[in-house]
Amino acid sequence: MFAIIETGGKQYRVEEGRHFNVERVDAEAGAEFVLEKVLLVNNGGNVTVGAPYVESAKVTCEVLEHGRGEKVVIFKKRRRKDSAVKRGHRQEFTTLKVKAISA
Residue 62 lies in a domain: yes
Q: What is the mean pLDDT of residues 84-103?
A: 96
State pTM to two decimals. Answer: 0.84
Q: What is the DSSP string of 45-85?
A: TEEEE-SSS-TT-EEEEEEEEEEE---EEEEEEETTTTEEE
CB atoms within 10 A of CB 62: 16
What is the per-residue pLDDT across 70-89, written as a single tens digit (0 to 9) for each? 999 999 999 999 999 999 99
The CA-CA-CA angle for residues 27, 23, 9, to 5°, reads: 120
Query: In whole angstroms, what is the distance from residue 88 CA to residue 90 CA?
Result: 7
Number of structural domains (the chain) is 1
Residue 87 lies in a domain: no
Domain holding 10, by residue range, is 2-67+94-102
